[in-house]
Amino acid sequence: MIAAWLGVAVLGLNGSGATILAAAMALSSTAVALQVLQDRGEASSRHGRATFSVLLFQDLAVVVFLMLTPLLAQSQSSQAVGGQEQVKMFLLQIGQAIVKACVAIAAIIAGGRVAFRPIYKRIAKTGNNEIFAATTLLVVLGTSMLTQKFGLSMELGAFIAGLLLAETEYALQIESDIAPYKGLLLGLFFMTVGMEFSMTLLIQQWRAILVSMAVLLVGKTAVVALTGPFFGLSRIASIRAGLMLAPGGEFAFVLLGDAAAKAILASALCSQMYLVVALGMALTPMLGALGNALDDKFENKDVLKLQPSEGEVDDLRGHVIVAGFGRVGQMICQLLSERLIPFTALDVRSDRVAKGRDMEMPVYFGDSGSAAVLHSIGASKAACAVVVLDTPGANYRCVWAIKKHYPNVKVYVRARDVAHGLNLERAGASAVVPETLEPSLQLAAAVLQEMQLPPEEVSSTIDDYRRKHLEELSELAFVSGSSLGYGYEKSKSIDVEA
């Protein structure tokens, strides 16, 4: 709103134009910022996670902005009528457009939820990745054409298609199959935008463009730097997140293009803003380097130093991969180290990785759900993997990535409960251990001792409960076809009971 007011006051824009310009300049580049963070190994750092959170919120806000553009265009076209008639016509048009947009979006979402799962289930049975990718592109294009038929933007349709596909159980496979096309289509998009640039305009108005770009970068960085500490970020992390979010984004080109086509903004102003956004995006890697320099000077942390260097793990054979270096991961690594069993551990928190390095353990910074990171620690030569990450979603993603890219590696994973364990089994886990049993038994044993029960009775009670629980898990595993029950085979469970 502040930017819109400045647009009205400084540039002499009307309310509609100032609103669209403010929305376009407020957005940041998801594609460029995330790529820079990944290249620098900072995607899972504090400022990297904060940047991703803001980018995700912006991507959701784009839906509102894309709906807002045609509504503002209608309001602007009704300004020729004066007085009460203008107000009535404006409210009528806005109401009709909102109802039409809501009905269209609701119909597309309802139809997609009903149709997508059966379609992809049938395609998955064929085992043909090309058909999978082609169907995904068809869904995106079809949804875009539907939204265009309803008077909404094609970009909104593509965004809705992505949201619907993300809700299906085939989301990870879809993401993997369309990855080769993502860079190509993004390149075509930027090429199309580049054809709109005017080098003559850049030469003629370079001062105004540079000043506008400086105001944009400094202003957005200052906003994030001031608000970041209220959300638990350090001052340096806030500044680094602000530097990554400061340049404009690819959706700015879409909004400005629609605004120019609908005569909300002048084409000359949009051309000038194209250059401001493009030059700012080109500076994103340098802004990332500037943030890293500030971090080195004031906090002295460099995530790249915590990653495995080239050739560092080439000699590993038959080792264990430990995904997660929290409390459980640290205990597992200590046990493996005492038995001289080779292992490598991964975590996305630099403080945990630094702690492991202080203990002289092979702990590295990296996302254990990334195929590239798994390859860098020799996953193809590993004997097995132990997944003990902090969240159920991270555990599932890691198990899925390992079994997809390295199907011969056995995966042992900690589950929050039985239901979560069954999902992990379907993702490919070799054995699943519910995390609630042993801590509960230890706590119960302490309580029983406090109640003055003899140690022998406490031990037998705990053992009986453990045996009964394993027996129930074994029966559940037999019914569900899973290996729940600590990976014990049925024969071993019978031996324990005997």
pLDDT digit string, tens, across residues 21-71 = 888 888 888 878 888 887 777 776 778 888 888 887 887 777 777 777 766
Q: Would you state the pLDDT for residue 6?
A: 60
User: Dihedral sign, CA of 216, 220, 222, 225?
Assistant: negative
Using the predicted structure, report yes or no on whether residue 321 has a pLDDT greater than 90. Answer: yes
Using the predicted structure, report yes or no on whether residue 120 has a pLDDT greater than 80. Answer: yes
Reported confidence tier of residue 491, pLDDT bands at 50, 70, 90 = very low
Mean pLDDT along residues 446-465: 85
Separation CA 115–CA 360 (nearest Å): 53
pLDDT digit string, tens, across residues 226-271 = 998 888 777 888 899 999 999 988 888 888 887 888 777 888 888 8
- Tell me the CA end-to-end span of the chain in Å, nearest whole number: 73
| Percent over 70 (pLDDT), the chain | 81
Looking at per-residue confidence, does 168 or 491 come out higher?
Answer: 168
Mean pLDDT along residues 386-402: 89
The mean-pLDDT minimum among 31-40, 97-106, 489-498 falls in: 489-498
Using the predicted structure, report yes or no on whether residue 297 has a pLDDT greater than 60. Answer: yes
Residue 309: other Cβ atoms inside 10 A: 10
Q: Would you state the pLDDT for residue 468?
A: 78
Q: Would you state the pLDDT for residue 308?
A: 63
Q: Would you state the pLDDT for residue 130?
A: 80
Q: Would you state the pLDDT for residue 409?
A: 92
Is residue 473 classed exposed, middle or buried when 0-12, 13-18 and 19+ CB atoms within 10 A define those classes?
buried
Separation CA 38–CA 304 (nearest Å): 11
Q: Would you state the pLDDT for residue 493?
A: 41
Structure tokens at 150: 């309803």
Looking at per-residue confidence, does 422 or 409 come out higher?
Answer: 409
Q: Would you state the pLDDT for residue 492?
A: 42
Using the predicted structure, report yes or no on whether residue 407 has a pLDDT greater than 70. Answer: yes
Mean pLDDT along residues 271-288: 87
Do residues 90 and 139 make contact, with C-beta atoms less than 8 angstroms apart?
no
Q: What strands lie across the sheet with 410-415, from one edge to the other? A: 363-365, 343-347, 320-323, 384-387, 410-415, 431-434
Using the predicted structure, report yes or no on whether residue 78 has a pLDDT greater than 60. Answer: no
Q: Would you state the pLDDT for residue 402?
A: 92
- Please report, for residues 154, 276, 309, 362, the alpha-carbon distance to residue 359 in angstroms, rounded to integers and kept in the order given: 54, 49, 19, 9
Q: Would you state the pLDDT for residue 323?
A: 93
Q: Would you state the pLDDT for residue 438?
A: 72
Mean pLDDT along residues 374-378: 87
Q: Would you state the pLDDT for residue 303?
A: 53
Using the predicted structure, report yes or no on whether residue 483 has a pLDDT greater than 60. Answer: no
Using the predicted structure, report yes or no on whether residue 192 has a pLDDT greater than 60. Answer: yes
Separation CA 361–CA 368 (nearest Å): 17
Using the predicted structure, report yes or no on whether residue 485 has a pLDDT greater than 60. Answer: no
Using the predicted structure, report yes or no on whether residue 487 has a pLDDT greater than 90. Answer: no
Mean pLDDT along residues 296-305: 58
Q: Would you state the pLDDT for residue 488?
A: 44
Mean pLDDT along residues 317-327: 90
The position carrying tokens 């602000």 is 242
Separation CA 440–CA 18 (nearest Å): 59
Mean pLDDT along residues 70-91: 59
| Percent over 90 (pLDDT), the chain | 8
Burial 449-466 (b: 16+ CB within 10 A, else e): eeeeeeeeebeeebeeee
Question: DSSP string covering 281-348, please?
Answer: HHTHHHHHHHHHHHHHHHT---GGGGSPPTTTTTT--S-EEEE--SHHHHHHHHHHHHTT--EEEEES
The position carrying tokens 């553009």 is 69
Mean pLDDT of the chain: 78
Using the predicted structure, report yes or no on whether residue 385 has a pLDDT greater than 90. Answer: yes
Residue 349: other Cβ atoms inside 10 A: 17
